[in-house]
Amino acid sequence: MANVYFLIIAILQSIPQISPLTPLTGILPLVFVIVISMIREGIEDYRRYVDDQKANSQPVRVLSNEKPENIEQKKKEALDQFPFFVTNFPPCFDIVKSEELKVGQMVLIYEDEIFPADLILLGTSDKDNRAFIETAMLDGEKSLKKRKTKGNINDL
């Protein structure tokens, strides 16, 4: 709305019959405000880009259909790339970057880990098949939301 104000002032000052000032005095504030807005938006976009790159490079455990000997080699390579990542997980899971996730892949998530994408809860370690999820990164709400599966994956 501020840009509209400066635009109207610039137009009115461009008319010599109603303005004693030069058109430049009306156009310069408009250009200044637009340039500052562009710089601010550019900085915000760059910060979002950096955050997206960080999120997309997070390691994720996905169910693999490869032979066990290939998985062990891939795990060694992945652990070289992600040395801080939890290594105690079933041997049929592989470590990939979250940007490499594909639709339909099964992901193994442990307690207090960040979800790399939209996921469907298939099973939990809870005896009542419940999971508590915090969605603070999506909606800013810190409270835990209870989710329950229809049955455990082991029952399928």
Mean pLDDT confidence for 122-146 = 76
Instruction: Give the distance between the most distant pair of CA atoms in the chain.
Output: 85
Which pLDDT belongs to residue 45?
A: 96
Q: What is the pLDDT of residues 107-120, one digit of tens each?
A: 888 777 777 777 77
SS3 content of the chain, % helix, strand, coil (to 5): 45, 15, 40
42 pLDDT more than 60: yes
Q: What is the pLDDT of residues 46-71, one digit of tens each?
A: 999 998 888 888 888 888 776 656 66
**Higher-confidence position of 122 and 40:** 40
Which pLDDT belongs to residue 40?
A: 96
Contact 31, 43 (CB under 8 A): no
Q: Which amino acid is at 40?
A: R
Neighbours of 85 (CB within 10 A): 14
Query: Who contacts 27 (Cβ-Cβ below 8 Å, separation ≥6)?
Result: 10, 13, 14
> Can you tell me which residue has the tokens 């080699």?
73
Which pLDDT belongs to residue 156?
A: 47
Q: DSSP of 43-64, one letter per residue? A: HHHHHHHHHHHHHHT-EEEEE-
In the chain, % of residues over pLDDT 90: 10
